[in-house]
Amino acid sequence: MSITSSSDFHVRLGRSDLQATRICLGTMTFGEQVDEATAYSILDRSVERGVTFLDTAEMYPVPPSAARYTLTESIIGRWIAARPGVRDRLLLATKVAGPARGYDWIRNASGDLTGQDIIAACEASLRRLQTDVIDLYQIHWPARNVPSFGSIYFDPAKEQPVTPIQPQLEALGKLVQAGKVKTIGLSNETPWGVHEFVRLAEQHGLPRVATVQNPYTLVNRSVDNALDETLFREQVSLLAYSPLAFGLLTGKYDEKGLEDDSRPGRMAMFETMKKQRWGRPESLAAARLYNQLARDHGFTPTQLALAFCYRSPRVASTIIGVTSVAQLDENIDAWSLPLSPEVLAEIDRIRWQHRDPAQ
C-alpha cells in the first residue's frame, strides 16, 4: 500500500534539511466539505500510504469564514493528539495569513503583516496543532501590493505602506532560533519576491526560504513564465497547489458546466468559487481540451493532470486536496503513471492556444 519504497518519492526542500514526500496532503477541505471523522480517516490513510507531508493554514477551511477560521488546524491537532507517535512521522507545514483581503476576522482586518503578527500567529498555530515545532512555516500571501489570486497586472496605484520583507524575515528568524519553526517558505509569491527574500536572508544572516507554494496546473502554468528560473537559480522548491484546478481537471464539469450540482464539487457548491479564476469560461474551455486529451490516451482526466505535476522537473511536491479516502487513493495511485513525449507535446500544444486561463 505504501509508495515510500519508490526511490524518487522523497525530495529535499530547497537548501534545508527537510526531506518531503513528493505528494503533499492539502487540508483546506477539513471542517467545511470534510467532517472531523472523515478527516481522521483521510489522514490515517495518507500516513498508511506513505504520504506524510501535510499542509494547512490558519485561515482554513476554504471558502474562508469567521465561523470556521482556524478550524482545520484544530482538527489536525486533535488527530495528532489521538495518535501517539504519529507526529514524528510527519512533515507538518502551515501558513500565516497575509493582509486581510476583506477577511475582517483576521487580525481585525489589518492591511499589513508585521513581525509581531507573524510570531503571534505561529504561536497560536502551534497550540492548535498540538505540536512543539512547525516543520515548514509559510507566509500565505505577500503583504505588499502584488497581483495574485486571479489578478494579472501589477498596479502601482495600489501601493500602500506595509511592513517590509526584512522585518518579516527577522520575525521568522526569531521563531527558528527559538526552535518553534524548522524552515520557512512563501506562498503566492512573484519572482521578485522570492529573489528579495533570498537576497535579504543572505545579506543579513537570516533564515533562507526553502519553498514557494504557488498554483501549478494544466490551466495555470504561470510559474513557467519566469518564476521557474528564479526557483532553479536560487534553489527554492516549488510546492504545486490546485493541480486539479478546483475540480475542472477531473472532468466532472465537462458535460453540464459549473452549474451542475449532480456531482458534488467546490465549484458547484460555493458561489464564491465561480467568481474566481477557476470559474472563468476560458478555464473550463481549456480544461475540457486537456480532459479529452486524457481520455484519448487511456487516462482519466484526474490521472493526466496529476501525472503532469508529479513528473514535472519544476515541482518538488504536489499538494492534493480530497474529500474522501477513495479520492485520496485515486490521487496517490496516479504517481506511478508515466506520460509519453507525445502526450507532453500535446499538452504544450493546447497551452499554446489557451495560455494559462486560470492565472
DSSP-assigned states of every residue in 234-260: HT-EEEEE-TTGGGGGGTTTTTT-TT-
Would you say residue 178 has pLDDT above 80? yes
Question: Do residues 242 and 209 touch, judged by C-beta distance below 8 A?
Answer: no
Mean pLDDT of the 186-215 span:
98
Query: What is the band of 222 on the pLDDT scale with cuts at 50, 70, 90?
Result: very high
Would you say residue 269 has pLDDT above 70? no
pLDDT of residue 187: 98
pLDDT of residue 148: 85
Identify the active-site residue in 40, 60, 216, 290: 60
pLDDT of residue 2: 64
pLDDT of residue 258: 82
Mean pLDDT of the 251-261 span:
85
pLDDT of residue 208: 98
Q: Active site includes 40?
A: no
Task: Tell me the whole-structure pTM to 2 decimals.
Answer: 0.95
Query: What is the band of 100 on the pLDDT scale with cuts at 50, 70, 90?
Result: confident
Please compute, for residue 169, the number of CA atoms within 13 A of its CA located in the half-sphere on the CB side.
Answer: 20
Q: Is the peptide bond before 61 cis (omega within 30 degrees of 0)?
A: yes
Question: Cβ of 86: how many Cβ atoms within 10 Å?
Answer: 15
Would you say residue 63 has pLDDT above 70? yes
The CA distance from 354 to 110, in Å, is 37
Element (H, E) at 351: helix 341-353
Q: For the stretch 338-350, what's the b/e string if a residue is b when 16 or more beta carbons lie within 10 angstroms of its beta carbon? A: ebeeebeebbeeb
The CA distance from 203 to 336, in Å, is 42
Question: Do residues 143 and 99 touch, judged by C-beta distance below 8 A?
Answer: yes
